[in-house]
């Protein structure tokens, strides 16, 4: 497959790029800064410099032409304020979905966040609350699109622990941690399983091998 990843320099995206390239897929990662290109090349991915906050749908669609799938793994990141949660976590996600539709790329996988469907509890840090609301709005936008075979993945608390290859994947899992390695492995498996289209799934560490967990969800 040819797979294009928005947010190609993110921690999960770089792991996913290594996995996909390692199994023989052609991978392109969209990045904002040219100096990030070397890290993508080392991961086996083609770097594509394109700022999702200023690009047009046509700009992004050109990079998606000929792709079999698209993954939205971009985010404003730590230290960014409320304005960039809106422009990246919501705005760029919707723009990337527009571009996928324009380019005829139906398979569309989103890395979201637990808690994105509910109003943040009272006392939540205002920037984190804005992030959750932005993610929720982006997810709602994607789920309303009949032109995409979408899957939304909502991992629990992310860690840099080594992956175990075993997870819990379901519409509701409860809250727990998950290594970024395992999130990347689940994303790779989701791309191979069209039966997961139309599903919003939570992901935490667990006891089920990744491929088995994805097959089980597709069979539900």
List the catalytic residues: 131
| Pair of tokens at residue 38 | 């070397």
| Pair of tokens at residue 163 | 């992956």
Q: How far is CA 7 from CA 10, 93, 161, 207, 220, in A?
A: 6, 10, 21, 29, 30
Q: Please enumerate in sequence order all residues whose Cβ is within 8 A of that of 218, keeping only pairs 6 or more positions apart, or say none.
A: 193, 194, 195, 196
Q: How far apart are CA 49 and CA 37, in angstroms?
A: 8
């Amino acid at each position: 497959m040819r797979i294009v990843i928005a947010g190609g320099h993110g921690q999960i995206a770089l792991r996913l790029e290594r996995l996909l390239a390692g199994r023989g897929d052609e991978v392109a990662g969209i990045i904002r800064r040219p100096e990030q290109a070397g890290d993508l090349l080392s991961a086996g991915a083609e770097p594509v410099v394109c700022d999702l906050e200023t690009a047009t749908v046509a700009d992004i669609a050109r990079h998606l032409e000929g792709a079999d799938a698209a993954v939205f793994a971009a985010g404003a990141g730590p230290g960014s304020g409320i304005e960039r949660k809106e422009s990246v976590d919501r705005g760029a996600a919707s723009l990337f979905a527009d571009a996928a539709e324009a380019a005829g790329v139906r398979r569309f996988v989103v890395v979201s966040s637990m808690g994105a469907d509910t109003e943040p509890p009272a006392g939540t840090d205002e920037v984190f609350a804005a992030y959750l609301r932005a993610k929720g709005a982006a997810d709602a936008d994607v789920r309303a699109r009949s032109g995409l075979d979408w899957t939304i993945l909502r991992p629990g608390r992310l860690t840099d622990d080594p992956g175990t290859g075993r997870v819990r994947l379901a519409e509701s899992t409860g809250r727990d941690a998950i290594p970024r390695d395992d999130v990347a492995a689940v994303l790779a498996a989701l791309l191979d399983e069209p039966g997961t289209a139309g599903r919003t799934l939570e992901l935490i560490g667990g006891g089920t091998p990744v491929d088995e967990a994805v097959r089980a969800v597709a069979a539900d």
